A and B are shown apart, each in its own frame.
Chain A
């Protein structure tokens, strides 16, 4: 039997590798997704940091009424006020300006009299895109808040009060995260999603080709009249789907790790190196999960008559894989037992490991066991569907 399994596997691999279009899609798409996920957060951090450091010129009306000390504080935050001659509110509304300040006459006098001195902030949070108006606002608010604290401190000192009375609570922060945990922080969010996306689509075209494809080409009968047993046919084809599922997984995880470790040197915000254990851990839990997905993809496509029918039949599997991945990414479990739940468990284990900052063999073991149980059950179902008579009449 194993000779027939090897024969079928070999042939399926040869025809798969020769399908250049299919192979390009199967390898390139996961690589692109991996590079995107690995670079997204560091590049976002970089953009945010650069935006926060960039000198900010804010149009203002009535700058002459502003208190010089306020202008000095704003300078400290890289903000320069520039007198605006036109209709500031209209300009901000149109998005020509991200935000602006309007000082009313008497601002400095009110400030000196310890009366509320009002300045109006006109803002458009959508102007300038994601890194636009909202960023200007927060810097302006921070500058004004800092100025308020300074003035308040000066006033209480003048009344003979200790300025520390203005700070009843002092919050001291100590970040005890290890470098590994810091490095794996974003991976704990992106990796479950990456593994889900890659496994959901990588072996699919091969699963369809070795099942519905045989029917569509008219080659199924010829295979069924050979002495190869139903099991040999199932296992040979399953092996090909499995291998073509884990190769893109390996490539995408490697790309994710490499790009993640290249990114911090590009980004101005240090996020820490992504530890190697993340790569091994993902592979260890991804391989049994690829087995589950291989069988599920074959079950979904074996009853279809054409490639297109099989694609429709197998498409819900993408969600069956991605939804648990997203759940684990957004709400990583604290307990160990959820790692056993098929489909969800491996993602839970991945999330737990990346958050812990080291390999967790109990999580890996439980996730692997859950996946193997699921694979065994699905293989038993597939074996029923790969009965010759059923196969014949499903075509």
Chain B
């Protein structure tokens, strides 16, 4: 279980994350939704212990990220938003490398690697060097390295971004399966249909604050809208509000690291773009 309590992170005058709190229980899929630059990636990075919060904390399976970041990371499996892999390593070697960080070794590690390769359907390319892999193949390697130590809590940053239809279906199915097996899954996405279909709970983050938290149905009922997309737009302060939050930080500036690095930008047309929201 991941408990996020009153997280705050400012970069100068920019309040990237400003008092975010939510809980992701085991056996549920929790979606973290928000326009570009809203603070999603900064929040995820604080959960993983990559960024020190200025205030508040994160507790993962009872471990406080401020006091024991190593144990928190041990309890997490993180699928990062970048699709980078080591071109001179095979997927099997990738899994062996990352498994080593979690104390896995010998037969136990090899057995687990075989399981991951089978679950993710990587048999055909498991022993081929990753140079020249397709986006879908790379995404499987990335997902595999997040799951190799069978973590209780799984974080996925835009897991279906840039994937073809078949790969998207496989990934969504995997997320559901993990949740059904009792794992806590927290993921970000720009696709509202995906969030509506997969998430038990959704946290909508706007300008560094949680604008709403609840099931997709609850969010639609609260806003009186028929679709999650419309509910999301309303919660964000309408399309004009999204334009502001999508383009800049809280103070209208555009230079806090998450926003500046463009890490929240999806690779293909996002729902935000479909809805007419401006993108940089």
Interface residues, chain A, with chain B CB atoms under 8 Å away? 3-4, 7, 11, 14-15, 18-19, 217-222, 224-229, 388-389, 392-393, 395
Contact = CB atoms under 8 A, between A and B. Distances in A.
A225 B76 contact: yes
B88 A18 contact: yes
B101 A222 contact: no
Contacts of A393: 257
Interface of A is mostly: helix
Given A7-B100, A218-B83, A227-B102, 7 more contacts: A15-B88, A221-B82, A222-B98, A225-B73, A225-B80, A226-B98, A227-B71
A232 to B, nearest CB: 9
The 8 A-B pairs with the shortest beta carbon distances in the complex, nearest first, are: A218-B84, A218-B82, A226-B101, A7-B100, A221-B80, A225-B78, A219-B84, A18-B88
A240 B69 CA distance: 26
A224 B49 CA distance: 9
23 contacts: A4-B101, A7-B101, A11-B89, A14-B88, A18-B129, A19-B88, A217-B84, A217-B85, A218-B80, A220-B84, A221-B82, A222-B82, A225-B48, A225-B80, A226-B102, A227-B71, A227-B74, A228-B101, A388-B49, A389-B51, A389-B52, A392-B45, A393-B257
Interface in B166-224: none
Interface of B: 45, 48-52, 70-71, 73-74, 76, 78, 80-89, 93, 97-98, 100-103, 129, 142, 145, 257, 261
Contact of A224 (B50, B81, B84): B50
Contacts of A227: 70-71, 73-74, 101-102
A221 B73 CA distance: 12
B70 A229 contact: yes
B73 A7 contact: no
B64 to A, nearest CB: 15
A222 B70 contact: no
A393 B48 CA distance: 15
Contact of B84 (A222, A225, A228): A222
B100 A4 contact: yes
A224 B82 CA distance: 13
